[in-house]
Amino acid sequence: MKLLIISGGSKGLGLALCNQYQKNGFTIVEFSRTAPHPFSVSIDLSSSVDSATVIATALAPLSAVQWQEIVIINNAGTLNPIGPAAKKPRGAVVDNININFTSGLLFIIEALKQFQGHSGKKTLVNISSGAALGGYPGWSLYCAAKAGLENFIAAVALEQDLQAKPFTAINIGPGVIDTDMQASIRKAKVEDFPAVERFIDRKESGELRPPEKVAADIFAISEQSNIENGRRYDAAG
């Protein structure tokens, strides 16, 4: 038996990943606010402490099952609010960091805690971004969270090297995908996101890849027999 645990699988890339792993024989557990699937668990990632309790409760019975393979994918994220850091309301800052960073940490930590003692292949995937590697004006919170998670995974990978039954922990950059997030970016005001025209051009020139193709690339990476612990991979273009 094979298990996929994923955050943010209600739409876009997350939904495509759920479909990709499900058709390859994985049991799916998906965490999201809208929780649209039979295998979904409703969660509010903007409330990080409460979300950690929901995650722990959902994963506890699964940890008693002997899985042949376990894949954990941290995917949930939001760009909102887009705009200069000085203009962001305090509450929106807290919600953004909880969704993009704090709840992501807690999601990963709880999954590691529940399944660390399991034998078999275990892969931890953080869906990263180009925003983890450099700043974008208007995306300060998103960039901060993505960079933090990328380095968190690098540290977790080193910790896993010391475990008797380790996870392989990796970051994957998905590239530019034709999702609702990209649609929201294209609607941003220039004063909030000066690079908006570049993202409009990407759509018009056909640079955005379908979520299904990116999901297939991510699946292929996670299923490699020689996957390298701690590495950042990029989904094929």
Percent of the chain scoring above 90 in pLDDT: 99
Instruction: Please say whether the beta carbons of 93 and 111 come within 8 A.
Output: no
Q: How far apart are CA 65 and CA 128, in angstroms?
A: 29
| Mean pLDDT, rounded, for 94-110 | 97
139-169 pLDDT per residue, tens: 999 999 999 999 999 999 999 999 999 999 9
Which tokens go with 14? Answer: 């997350």
Strands (DSSP E) found in 68-151: 69-74, 121-127
Radius of gyration of the chain (CA): 17
Give the CA angle between residues 55, 23, 27 to the nearest 5°: 30
Which pLDDT score, from 0 to 100, does residue 236 have? Answer: 77
Amino acid at 154: A
Distance CA 219, CA 24 (A): 9
Q: Look up the CATH number of domain 2-176+211-234.
A: 3.40.50.720
Query: Residue 30 is encoded by which pair of tokens?
Result: 């998906």
- Side chain identity at residue 61, one-letter code: P
Is pLDDT at 79 greater than 70 in this prediction? yes
Dist CA 8 CA 34 (whole Å)? 9
Residue pLDDT, tens place only, 11-35: 999 999 999 999 999 999 999 999 9
Q: Which of 52, 155, 41, 35 is nearest to 103 (CA)?
A: 52
Distances in whole angstroms, Cα of residue 211 to Cα of each of 11, 28, 129, 219: 9, 18, 14, 12
What's the pLDDT band for 172 if we cut at 50, 70, 90? Answer: very high
Chain segment 112-141, per-residue pLDDT in tens? 999 999 999 999 999 999 999 999 999 999
142 is known as an active-site residue = yes
| Per-residue confidence (pLDDT) for residue 237, from 0 to 100 | 56
User: Which of 21, 136, 142, 233 does the annotation list as catalytic?
Assistant: 142
For the chain, the average pLDDT equals: 96
Instruction: Say which residue the tokens 């929780």 belong to.
Output: 35
